[in-house]
Every structure is written in structure tokens, then in C-alpha cells.
């Protein structure tokens, strides 16, 4: 099945489930607390990974941007850093050539909803499905394949959002709590860079933005962060690569080889 048909099939499955009550029996209130620990243990969401390798995943939200994304790509290329861009669907439709460059230069393009919707509980199943599918359609047009990851704007989620995104083959990805640079608020190049450098740990997922209101400080901060962390022995990988290097995934690989 090609990528375009896969997205269409997923969309049909989602709407059939919504219309026919197919999810009614699967997404129900549960008295148990459904928090980070719960979803991480089930492998349904990710904030960071445990790994013995010196790897970090830098991520960028809210693009593509006609100026900022290209400037960031230039810096990443200079330091041979591969990253993940959580893109807005309507911006993908508006700036497909920039998004195409992201993919062509070896970075990962992932889902950040079509309209940058903050999914405040109680979350609408229909709205989540529409936002994710519309964005997947744009990603497929650009890359020829379905993405694997999804970041909910603002980090807002509940069990319904996790269930729907997992059903669509998308793992929700947030970020290391100690690696929120708040670069969207333009706190200063030094503050952004030191936030990342001083808190760097293997398996981190760092939150940046490649589209902000006003003059971005992210590109300049990266020119400080990348060489310093590289000097410390860190490699910069996509989130999917990071997941593959996690202790959990490595253990699965060893079990498979044993058989």
C-alpha cells in the first residue's frame, strides 16, 4: 500500500470508528491516574529515553518558517546535526519547498497538528483525528511517507489523544522537562544556550522552535550549543533514531537476535 492510500485508509478507519462508536469501548474513564509514568511504561508516549550512548535529540516546533527554518538548517548542516521538526500542517501546505529541504537534508519531519490546536481536556476525538490526518496528508505529499511521531501543542494530552494518535501510527513525543528552552519567549541567546548545555544528559529531547513571533534567537544559540556539546562527545540524532538507541529497544533487538 503506498503512503497516500495508507493515510486515506487510516482516515477512513478513524471516522468509521467515531461514527459507529468503534472507540466507545476502548476510550473510557479509568479511576487509575494516567500520567507520564503510566504512558511511558506502556510505551505509548515519550519524554526522553534511557541510553548508555551520548546522544541528544534536538527538536523544532511550529515551522516551517520561510526565513528561520532555512537559517537553522544551515547551522545544523555545518555541525552535521540531524534533528526532528514537528511541523504545522497549514504551514507545510504554504511552504512545501522548505519542508522538502528539511527531509532532503536528513532530518525528520513529524506531526504538530494542522492548526496548532491546544487540546484542552475533555479532548474531542473528531478534532484530534482531523488535525492529525490533515497534517499527515501534507507530510506524505512532501516526503512520500507517513510520519511516525506527533507532538501535541503546549504538551497537552489525555488518554483520548494518546489512543487516537497511537491508532494512527503516531507516537506522542513531548520533551525532557529540564530541556524546555522557552526560545519562543526570546529569553536571550545566552540563556537558551546555557539551558541546554548545563542540563545536557544522554537521551535528552530538547525543545526549540523554528517559528517565533519577532526576531528568533534560536539560530544564534545553536552556534554555541552544537560545538560545545560535540566537544563533550554528544551526537545529535532524530527522535526516531534516539528511540532506536534506547535501552528498551536495544534489549528487544537482542531478544530478537537470540531467536
209 is catalytic: yes
52 is catalytic: no
Torsion angle defined by CA atoms of residues 151, 192, 235 and 97, in that order, rounded to the nearest 10 degrees: 50
**Residue 79 contacts residue 236 (beta carbons within 8 Å):** yes
Torsion angle defined by CA atoms of residues 191, 195, 197 and 199, in that order, rounded to the nearest 10 degrees: 160
Q: What is the DSSP letter of 59?
A: E
Residues 107, 112, 209, 211: which is the catalytic one?
A: 209
207 forms beta bridges with: 59, 180
Report residue 42 CA to chain centroid gap. Answer: 18
Contacts of 249 (CB under 8 A, 6+ apart): 243
Helix (H, G, I), strand (E, B) or coil at 44: coil
Torsion angle defined by CA atoms of residues 92, 114, 239 and 191, in that order, rounded to the nearest 10 degrees: 90
Q: How is residue 79 written as a grid cell?
A: 555541525
**Residue 196 contacts residue 225 (beta carbons within 8 Å):** yes
State the catalytic residues: 61, 209
Amino acid at each position: 500500500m503506498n503512503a497516500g492510500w495508507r493515510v486515506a485508509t487510516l482516515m477512513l478507519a478513524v471516522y468509521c470508528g467515531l461514527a459507529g462508536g468503534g472507540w466507545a469501548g476502548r476510550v473510557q474513564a479509568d479511576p487509575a491516574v494516567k500520567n507520564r509514568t503510566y504512558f511511558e511504561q506502556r510505551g505509548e508516549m515519550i519524554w526522553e529515553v534511557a541510553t548508555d550512548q551520548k546522544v541528544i535529540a534536538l527538536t523544532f516546533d511550529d515551522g516551517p518558517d520561510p526565513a528561520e527554518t532555512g537559517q537553522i538548517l544551515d547551522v545544523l548542516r555545518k555541525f552535521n546535526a540531524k534533528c526532528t521538526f514537528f511541523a504545522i500542517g497549514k504551514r507545510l501546505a504554504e511552504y512545501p519547498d522548505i519542508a522538502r529541504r528539511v527531509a532532503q537534508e536528513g532530518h525528520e519531519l513529524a506531526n504538530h497538528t494542522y492548526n496548532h490546536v491546544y487540546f484542552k481536556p475533555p479532548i474531542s476525538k473528531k478534532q484530534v483525528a482531523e488535525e492529525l490526518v490533515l497534517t499527515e496528508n501534507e507530510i506524505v505529499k512532501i516526503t512520500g511517507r507517513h510520519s511516525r511521531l506527533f507532538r501535541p501543542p503546549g504538551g497537552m494530552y489525555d488518554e483520548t489523544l494518546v489512543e487516537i494518535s497511537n491508532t494512527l501510527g503516531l507516537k506522542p513525543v513531548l520533551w525532557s522537562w529540564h530541556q524546555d528552552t522557552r526560545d519562543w519567549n526570546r529569553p536571550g541567546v545566552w540563556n537558551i544556550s546555557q539551558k541546554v548545555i548545563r542540563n545536557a544528559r544522554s537521551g535528552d529531547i530538547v525543545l526549540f522552535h523554528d517559528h517565533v513571533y519577532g526576531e528568533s534567537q534560536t539560530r544564534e544559540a545553536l552556534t554555541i550549543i552544537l560545538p560545545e556539546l560535540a566537544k563533550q562527545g554528544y551526537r545529535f540524532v532524530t527522535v526516531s533514531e534516539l528511540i532506536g538507541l534506547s535501552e528498551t529497544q536495544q534489549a528487544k533487538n537482542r531478544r530478537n537476535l537470540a531467536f
